[in-house]
Amino acid sequence: MLTEEAEAALSAVLAQPWPLAPERAERSRLDHLLGRDAVHQGIALLADPLPPPVLAQMLERPGPVLVLDQVTDPRNVGAILRSAAAFGAAGVITQDRNAPDETGSLAKAASGALETVPLLRAVNIARTLIALKAADRWVVGLDAGGPAPLSGPSFAGRRVALVLGAEGGGLRRLTRETCDEVAELATEGAMSSLNVSAAAAVALYELTRRP
């Protein structure tokens, strides 16, 4: 379904006929069908969800893995996916529960990364960290109270799984204890901590640094 304006815009980049016959609709009808907060840009398509990735397949990709321990804000998860795409992360793992669905607001914050970065949902984060260790990943928890700053050059030659805790609460006790090590971001200003999505971006950048 799409509005007249959206059909014209899409036709300019993708010549008709299309594989699916479009149904013209007023924007108000799309608003009603999708909800007032949906980011539809005049186009709506009913599709099956993408099949969830398998951990083994994710680990075949280069780059660090991001593990989100009960990060619940869809905008934060979307922004983390965007940073993961920008810095070449292998994928993002969230908890099956206590994590947002792939909604319009999450997709908007991801800016297209939802289609390029594997997003895996795990039933148990601690067991997933153990599986990552068994797959030769060095599991690093990011926490404002870490004993030492995160240092990218120190991980040269090692494949890293970076674990980030929930907004406000940080890493849960069992998650923290399961990590190989816990580190913090080196900050010098008045604020001692960052929003989780900002922390993910800074940490991913730090991991790209080499001696």
pTM, 2 dp? 0.84
CATH number at residue 190: 3.40.1280.10
98-104-109 Cα angle (round to 5): 80
User: Are residues 33 and 62 both part of a single domain?
Assistant: no
Residue 197: how many other CB atoms lie within 10 Å: 23
Do 36 and 139 lie in one domain? The reply is no
Instruction: Check if the beta carbon of residue 80 is closer than 8 Å to that of residue 196.
Output: yes
102, 143: one domain: yes
Q: Return the percent helix, strand and coil in the chain, to nearest 5.
A: 35, 20, 45
Q: What backbone phi and psi angles, to 5 degrees, belong to 65?
A: -100, 140
pLDDT digits (tens, 9 = 90+) for 134-185: 999 999 999 887 788 899 999 988 999 999 998 778 899 999 999 999 999 8
Note the pLDDT of residue 183. Answer: 93
Residues 63 and 36 placed together within one structural domain of the fold: no
Please give the average per-residue pLDDT across 193-198, as a whole number. Answer: 87
Answer yes or no: do 142 and 166 share one domain. Answer: yes
Q: Please, what is the average pLDDT of the chain?
A: 90
Length of the chain: 211
Same domain, 39 and 76: no
Maximum distance among all Cα pairs of the chain, rounded to whole angstroms: 60
Of 74-83, 92-101, 197-206, which gets the smallest average pLDDT? Answer: 92-101
Instruction: Look up residue 30 and give its two tokens.
Output: 């799309």
Q: What pLDDT score does 191 carry? A: 65
Calculate mean pLDDT across residues 54-66: 94
Domain extent for 163? 55-208
> What's the total number of domains in the chain?
2
Q: Are residues 67 and 33 in the same domain?
A: no
* Cα angle 157, 161, 166; round to 5: 150
Residue 56 pLDDT greater than 90, yes or no: yes
What is the mean predicted confidence (pLDDT) over 29-55?
A: 84
Helices (H) and strands (E) counted in the chain, each on its own, are 8, 6
Residues 163 and 113 in one domain: yes
Question: What average pLDDT does the segment 76-98 reach?
Answer: 94
Please tell me whether residues 43 and 146 are part of one structural domain.
no
What was the pLDDT predicted at 89? 96
Is the same domain home to 30 and 125?
no
Single out the residue in 47, 64, 82 at which a domain terminates.
47
Highest mean pLDDT among 25-34, 85-94, 97-106, 188-197: 85-94
63 and 37 in a common domain: no
Residues 5, 72: one domain? no
* Helix (H), strand (E) at residue 182: strand 181-183
Average pLDDT over residues 102-127: 90
Q: What angle do CA 44, 2, 112 make, to 5 degrees?
A: 45
Which pair of structure tokens corresponds to residue 31?
A: 């608003």
